[in-house]
Amino acid sequence: MSEVIDLTARMRLHVVGVGGPGMSAIATCLAQMGHDVSGSDIKHSPVIERLSELGVRVNIGHDRLVVHGCDAVTSSTAIPRSNIELVEAEKSGLVVLNRAGMLASICAMRPAIAVAGTHGKTTTTSLLVRIFAEAGLEPNFIVGGDVLDEGVGARWTGSPWTIVEADESDGTHLELPLAGSILTNVDSDHLDQYGDLQGIADGFQKYLQGINGPVVVCVDDPIIAGFEKTSHTVTYGFASHADFRCHSVDAKNGETTFSITASTANSANEELSVRMSLRGHHNVLNVTAAIAMAMKCGVKPQAAINAVATFGGVGRRFEIIGSSDGVTFVDDYAHLPREISAVMSAAKTSDDSWGRVVAVFQPNRYNRMAVMSDEYAMAFVDADVVVITDIYASGTQKIEGVTGHLVVDAVTRAQVNSQVHWHEERTSLAQFVNRILRPGDVCISMGCGDIESLPRELLDVRSGVTRS
Q: What pLDDT does residue 171 have?
A: 74
Residue 265: the pLDDT is 67
User: Where are the domains positioned within the chain?
Assistant: 12-102, 110-309, 319-463
Among 262, 259, 313, 270, smallest CA distance to 292 is for: 262
Q: Which superfamily does 12-102 belong to?
A: NAD(P)-binding Rossmann-like Domain (3.40.50.720)
Beta bridge partners of 168: none
* CATH superfamily, region 319-463: Mur ligase, C-terminal domain (3.90.190.20)
Q: Are 12-102 and 319-463 in the same CATH fold?
A: no
The CB-side HSE value for 205 (13 A sphere, CA atoms) comes to 13
Q: How many CA atoms lie within 13 A of 461 on its CB side?
A: 19
Sign of CA dihedral 118, 180, 278, 252: positive
Crossing angle between the packed helical segments 121-134 and 301-309, to the nearest 10 degrees: 120
Residue 334: closest CA among 145, 201, 79: 145
Spatial distance between the Cα atoms of 177 and 208, rounded to a whole number of angstroms: 11
Task: For 238, list phi and psi in degrees, rounded to 5.
Answer: -80, -15
Determine the pLDDT at residue 250. 93
DSSP assignment, residue 67? G
Instruction: Name residues whose C-beta falls within 8 Å of residue 412's C-beta, 6 or more positions apart in sequence.
Output: 418, 420
pLDDT computed for residue 415 by the predictor: 87
Q: What is the pTM of this model?
A: 0.84
Along the 468 residues of the chain, how does pLDDT read in single tens digits? 568 999 999 999 999 999 988 899 999 999 999 999 999 999 998 899 999 999 999 999 999 999 999 999 999 888 999 999 999 999 999 999 999 999 999 999 999 999 999 999 999 999 999 999 999 999 999 987 666 667 688 999 999 999 999 988 777 788 899 999 999 999 877 666 767 889 989 999 999 999 989 999 999 999 999 999 998 999 999 999 999 999 999 988 778 999 999 987 666 789 999 999 998 899 999 999 999 999 999 999 999 999 999 998 888 888 999 999 999 999 999 999 989 998 999 899 888 889 999 999 999 999 999 999 999 999 999 999 999 999 999 888 999 999 999 999 999 999 878 899 999 999 999 999 999 999 999 999 999 999 999 999 999 999 987 655
**What is 110-309's CATH superfamily?**
Mur-like, catalytic domain (3.40.1190.10)
Of residues 408, 461, 405, the one with CA closest to residue 430: 461
CB contact set of 460 (below 8 Å; sequence gap of 6+)? 430, 466, 467
Q: Which positions ≥6 away from 305 have C-beta within 8 Å?
A: 272, 273, 274, 275, 291
pLDDT, position 313: 80
For residue 234, which amino acid is it? V
d(CA 356, CA 386): 11
Question: How high is the pLDDT of residue 148?
Answer: 61
pLDDT of residue 205: 94
